[in-house]
Structure 1
Amino acid sequence: MILRKRAPTHRGIALPIETPRLVLRDFRAGDVEDVHAYASREDVARYMIWGPNTPTQSREAVEGFLEDQRRRPRIAYDLAITLKGGGEVVGGAGLSIVDRANRLGDLGYVLHPDFWGFGIAAEAARALLDAGFRELGLRRIVASCDQRNKASARVMERIGMRREGAFRQSKFIQGDWRDEYLYAILAEEFLS
């Protein structure tokens, strides 16, 4: 269950987003150390298009999130995942509007390994799907993962996304061609 404090506006996502265990909020300048704690790790960055980050790269990533927060209309919602009652950033989840005319969004998430396997990524991703469909009025949300990233594929399947494609050598990442899966879900599927 997702707890919403404001009525949908279709102009933006009402933040913070609270779920039973999490608070998803905009990143803050003071989050750099928490972000670097996961973004600098090889086991986290292995399937990502970034990293492992240097301290400078983690700081620049947070600065980029802060810049995106100021853009109007806002099209990128890169949010800090925090545990209720804690405040420490344990990961990030993002939803970007990639095609406003066709109401298409793109979803992503990352967690510190200490929090893998507890359903946190699925809970955060589900909250962003809900916000994307109800508040942004999106029609379709997609997500992709490296084909070797079985845990990420399971998260997408757990939240109701359907695998729509398998792409061979579709991205050149960290000096290597990567195969990826594409997942998607429609508003009518999620909201029914």
Structure 2
Amino acid sequence: MREKLKHAYQTERLVLAPVTIDDTPDMFAYASNPENAYYVFETNKTLEDTKDIIQKIFIGNGLGKYGIFLNEKLIGTIYFLNLDDRNKSAELSYVLNEKFEGHGYATEAAIKLRDIFFTELEGERLYARHTFDNLKSMNLMARIGMKIEGTLRKSYCFHGRQVDLAIWSVTRDDL
């Protein structure tokens, strides 16, 4: 699956492309905001924290991991986790700078990656998870055609406590 991924993709308004060290200030703008980072990762305290994350996650292991760019500005990231060649499945993960919410950018990027998964990667099942209080993620999953599968009980350590996750998926047959 991995070898079929392209370097960058275009949507109507966005470019999905690799994140580079040059994108550190744009990522720090949302990664340092506790409300923006709340559901996804630990809040970045310094530009150096953000630079380390870019190096480790997006440069060191960047295949299938994209920045969401609007007019050459990084406004979020979206990527595949747990790409499983044998079972033709992957998990979708994303974060968007809250200053750009409400314009359909996350949905547009997620639909593009969903379509890439099923057409170019010939995947069978794309899934995503969220905490039950993360309504924005829940709504995005529904908008891209995912259906709720169930609850992963006490499966995630979230801010120091074990919480349930909702798991959603879309399969090739659903589209």
Do the aligned residues in 2 keep the contact of 1:10 with 1:137 (CA within 8 Å)?
A: no
TM normalised by structure 1 equals 0.84
Cα distance in 2 between the residues matched to 1:114 and 1:167: 31
Cα distance in 1 between the residues matched to 2:2 and 2:93: 21
In the alignment, what sits opposite 2:42? 51
Given residue 131 of structure 1, which amino acid in structure 2 is its aligned partner?
Answer: I
Given residue 45 of structure 2, which amino acid in structure 1 is its aligned partner?
Answer: T
Do the aligned residues in 2 keep the contact of 1:10 with 1:134 (CA within 8 Å)?
A: no
Structure 1 portions without partners, runs of 5+:
1-8, 70-75
| CA distances 1:126-153 after superposition (whole Å, capped 9, x unpaired) | 1001111111121111101111000110
Q: CA deviation at 1:97?
A: 4.3
**Match among 60, 73, 76 for residue 88 of structure 1:** 73
SS in 1 for 2:102: coil
SS in 2 for 1:163: strand
Given residue 38 of structure 1, which amino acid in structure 2 is its aligned partner?
Answer: Y
Alignment of 1:5-154 (within 5 A): 11-48=3-40, 50-55=41-46, 56-64=48-56, 65-69=58-62, 76-83=63-70, 86-154=71-139
Could you say if the C-alpha distance between residues 10 and 112 of structure 1 is closer, same or farther in structure 2, counting changes exceeding 3 Å?
Answer: closer
TM normalised by structure 2 equals 0.92
Given residue 161 of structure 1, which amino acid in structure 2 is its aligned partner?
Answer: M
SS in 1 for 2:60: helix
Do the aligned residues in 1 keep the contact of 2:2 with 2:64 (CA within 8 Å)?
A: no
Do the aligned residues in 1 keep the contact of 2:2 with 2:121 (CA within 8 Å)?
A: yes
Does residue 164 (structure 1) correspond to residue 157 (structure 2)? The answer is no
SS in 2 for 1:68: coil
Q: CA deviation at 1:125?
A: 0.5
Of 150-159 and 162-171, more deviation after overlay is shown by 162-171
Cα distance in 2 between the residues matched to 1:38 and 1:96: 21
- Over the residues paired in the alignment, what is the CA RMSD in angstroms? 1.6
Equivalences, count: 173
Q: CA deviation at 1:21?
A: 0.8
